[in-house]
Structure 1
Amino acid sequence: MSFSLIPRGVYPAVTHISPKALAEKGVRLVLADLDNTLVPYRVTEPSRAVRQWRDALAAEGIALFLLSNSRKPGRPHSFAQKLDIPCIGHAGKPKREGFFRAMERMGVTPDQTVMVGDQIFTDVLGANRSGVTPLLVKPIRLAGNPGRYIRYAVETPFRLLGRWRPFV
């Protein structure tokens, strides 16, 4: 398992990641972060675009699974229920345990799994440490927490390097 902060591609949004291209690479499971990846912070309903992306994944035989570090009680599970997908909240990313629990639950291996997230130090690092392919998306919205601006600024070199390594 690798200690790498470099993603396999940087995408404008989850909906720019082609389910067909993922299926052609042998992907059977997409682990997805919640906040700033699928929806902005505090948004409780999946958008039509996210629902359509989930349906397109399913049509290719790929399961979508919510893997969130959210500390808000019930938020990840409530959102996952609205999308009718499985979920692990308080996943502890970048620790590997949440990734392995999700893959075991879905009966897949790391080489059949990708992680889609907006953060280098949780989503990308955790995926790389678990042998899962990390796909990075632009954060939906940075507004609100000044710490996010600092964190994303520190992540900039890794985001730039990731652009040269697209997976799909």
Structure 2
Amino acid sequence: MLTAYWTGKSIFDIEPATLARRGIQLLLADLDNTLVPYGVPEPTEQVRAWTRSLADHGVTLFVLSNNRHPGRPERFSNALGVPFIGHAGKPKPTSFFLAMERMGCTPAQTAIVGDQIFTDILGGSRAGVTTLLVEPIRLAGNPGRYLRYAAEWPFRALTKRRAKPL
């Protein structure tokens, strides 16, 4: 439950065509430090292009964020043109199931990509979806992030040894 199915450096290591071949139709994505660094209000052009490529392959991106500021995931997702759930309560699986229900997908058709073991990967495992772990985009600026990632280190190392190709 605390190791991911796959791991890569960033979301851009995830090939939309590969997800589609695996039957993934819904890609849930953490926002902060997964899609963009904390505080970046709008998607970059690279994120926009990747999202378009997902859509071209029949995969819907869905932002699933624990951000407690309701306007942040809403503004970002609206700018990207994708559905979202803010203040998602990960690792509780409730928001995962709600997103799948809204999009008409099963756990077998769904994956989650995130940068945190104890929220994104644990929540995805509890919901029965494919878990994809990426490195955090930026740790600077918050000492608590360093501690959290230090606590995750053994699980990240284990994931790297056990991870499967996508």
TM-score (norm 1): 0.96
1:19-168 aligned at under 5 Å gives the runs: 19-163=16-160, 164-168=162-166
Q: What's the C-alpha RMSD, in Å, of the aligned pairs? A: 0.8
CA distance in 2, matches of 1:41, 1:157: 24
Q: Which residue of 1 aligns with 2:2?
A: 5
| 1:166 CA displacement | 2.5
Identity of matched residues, %: 58
CA distance in 1, matches of 2:54, 2:28: 12
Q: Secondary structure at the match of 2:52?
A: helix
| 1:10 CA displacement | 1.5
Unaligned runs of 5+ in 2: none
CA distance in 1, matches of 2:92, 2:43: 26
CA distance in 2, matches of 1:136, 1:18: 14
| 1:73 CA displacement | 2.8
| 1:160 CA displacement | 1.4
CA distance in 2, matches of 1:142, 1:120: 15
State the number of aligned residues.
Answer: 165
CA distance in 2, matches of 1:156, 1:111: 28
Unaligned runs of 5+ in 1: none
* Corresponding letter in the other structure for 2:146: Y
| CA-to-aligned-CA distance 1:5-30 (integer Å, 9 cap, x gap) | 00112111101100011111100000
